[in-house]
């Protein structure tokens, strides 16, 4: 609306410029002098649109950028129509693209250095069907021309909580130490995250949380059905809330994995509210003070559900002494119970760093190296 009209008292009527569908979410919005730039996640793939006011409403124009990537608006000017976009994907490090919103033909102007050889690698996106029929997307990065015979060593990760979206990103260490060896990597976009907005997160809150764990298992089963890997060649990893996910999957589906890395995890869900910052997460997990929520937590708590006589894959559990968010107690108790039950395991506790486990570059490198050696030993052997 023209400024003069506003000054004369004209009523300002909001207009909907873009409404995400069930498989989309809005990542960012920026205004230039004559346009609106919109970055969205469209089925977990970054997209950018230019919205332009016209005499009859608003026109929308897509911007051509790399696919299977995360795209964000780095900056935009309201003095002109110049803008910068940041693009990152599984096979390419973060790149900066310059664009004029009036004529959106972005040009790459800067790129972070590549840390592994991505030649011969491809990214594909598939969907698995969960227990309630919902389609769960996932990305798989693998060698071009890979024979689908189930023999490819593969590692998969996910988070599944707190409305945190897991989008394509450049993982240099995974690329260098895993993908360059001809192996595969999977990112599962399970419920609990924010890939498709609040509803995707809320579907797995509190006593509804089992669906998150069902989603994760469904992705693995879909991978096996496509013969992209097999249980003997398949490993999983996750940290914090993702560590809880790993603990649940370790218990509920020990036959689906040959390697499980449980990082700085929550594992005793009966007492989690009394450990470190646990009490602040009752809106996500529920509370033992609510009978129905307590019953559910007892059902899924990894620590409470370890069973004797089960052929579990030997897990690798690691934590840090100074983790003041989740606390090292979860990992210690879990390892102690495995020991009591005679179940083989690997355990490592670093005295430096906090919840993130990377007090410095040396510690971060050590933790990554230990994880990759574990997966190599578990999955790459014949």
Catalytic residue (choose from 240, 253, 280, 356): 240
Measured between alpha carbons, how far is 227 from 53 in angstroms, rounded to an integer?
A: 49
Active site residue 346: no
Catalytic residue (choose from 35, 142, 201, 355): 355
Reduced 3-state DSSP string for the chain:
CCHHHHHCCCCCCCCCCCCCCCCEEEEEEEECCCCEEEEEEECCEEEEEEEEEECCEEEEEECCCCCCEEEEEEEECCCCCEEEEEEEECCCCCEEEEEECCEEEEEEEEECCCCCCCCCEEEEEEEEECCCCCEEEEEEEEECCCCCCCCCCEEEECCCCCCCCCCCCCCHHHHHHCHHHCCEEEEECCCCCCCCCHHHHHCCCHHHCHHHHHHHHHHHHHHHHCCCCCHHHEEEEEECHHHHHHHHHHHHCCCCCCEEEEECCCCCCCCHHHCCCHHHHHHHHCCCCCHHHHHHHHHHCCCCCCCCCCCCCCEEEEEECCCCCCCCHHHHHHHHHHHHCCCCCEEEEECCCCCCCCCCHHHHHHHHHHHHHHHHHHHCCC
- The single residue listed with the structure tokens 């009752």 is 282
Active site residue 240: yes
- Give the sheet arrangement for strand 36-42, strand by strand: 24-31, 36-42, 45-54, 57-62
Strand partners, 154: 184, 234
Strands 154-157 and 184-188: parallel
The catalytic residue positions are 240, 355
């Amino acid at each position: 609306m023209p400024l003069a009209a506003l000054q004369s008292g004209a009523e300002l009527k909001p207009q909907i410029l873009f409404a995400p569908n069930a498989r989309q979410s809005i990542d960012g919005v920026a205004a230039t002098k004559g346009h609106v730039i919109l970055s969205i996640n469209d089925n977990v793939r970054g997209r950018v649109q230019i919205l332009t006011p016209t005499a009859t409403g608003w026109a929308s124009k897509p911007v051509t950028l790399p696919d299977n990537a995360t795209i964000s608006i780095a900056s935009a000017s309201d003095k002109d129509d110049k803008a910068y976009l940041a693009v990152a994907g599984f096979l390419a490090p973060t790149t900066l693209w310059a664009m004029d919103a009036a004529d959106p033909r972005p040009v790459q102007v800067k790129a972070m250095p590549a840390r592994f050889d991505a030649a011969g690698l491809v990214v594909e996106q598939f969907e698995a069907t969960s227990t309630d029929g919902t389609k769960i997307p996932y990305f798989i990065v693998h060698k071009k021309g890979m024979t689908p015979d189930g023999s490819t060593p593969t590692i998969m990760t996910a988070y599944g909580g707190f409305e945190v979206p897991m989008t394509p990103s450049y993982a240099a260490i995974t690329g260098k130490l895993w993908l360059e060896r001809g192996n595969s990597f999977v990112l599962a976009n399970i419920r609990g995250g924010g890939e498709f907005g609040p509803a995707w997160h809320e579907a797995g809150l509190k006593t509804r949380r089992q669906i998150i764990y069902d989603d994760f298992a469904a992705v693995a089963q879909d991978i096996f059905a496509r013969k992209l890997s097999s249980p003997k060649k398949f490993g999983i990893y996750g940290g914090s809330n993702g560590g809880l996910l790993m603990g649940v999957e370790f218990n509920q589906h020990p036959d689906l994995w040959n390697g499980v890395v449980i990082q700085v995890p929550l594992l005793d869900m009966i007492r989690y509210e009394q450990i470190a910052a646990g009490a602040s997460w009752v809106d996500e997990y529920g509370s033992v003070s609510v009978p129905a929520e307590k019953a559910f937590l007892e059902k899924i708590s990894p620590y409470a559900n370890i069973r004797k006589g089960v052929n579990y894959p030997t897990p690798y559990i690691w934590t840090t002494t100074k983790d003041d968010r989740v606390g090292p107690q979860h990992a210690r108790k879990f390892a102690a119970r495995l020991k009591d039950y005679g179940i083989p395991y690997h355990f490592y506790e670093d005295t430096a760093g906090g919840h993130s486990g990377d007090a410095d570059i040396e510690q971060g490198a050590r933790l990554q190296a230990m994880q990759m050696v574990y997966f190599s030993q578990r999955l790459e052997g014949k």
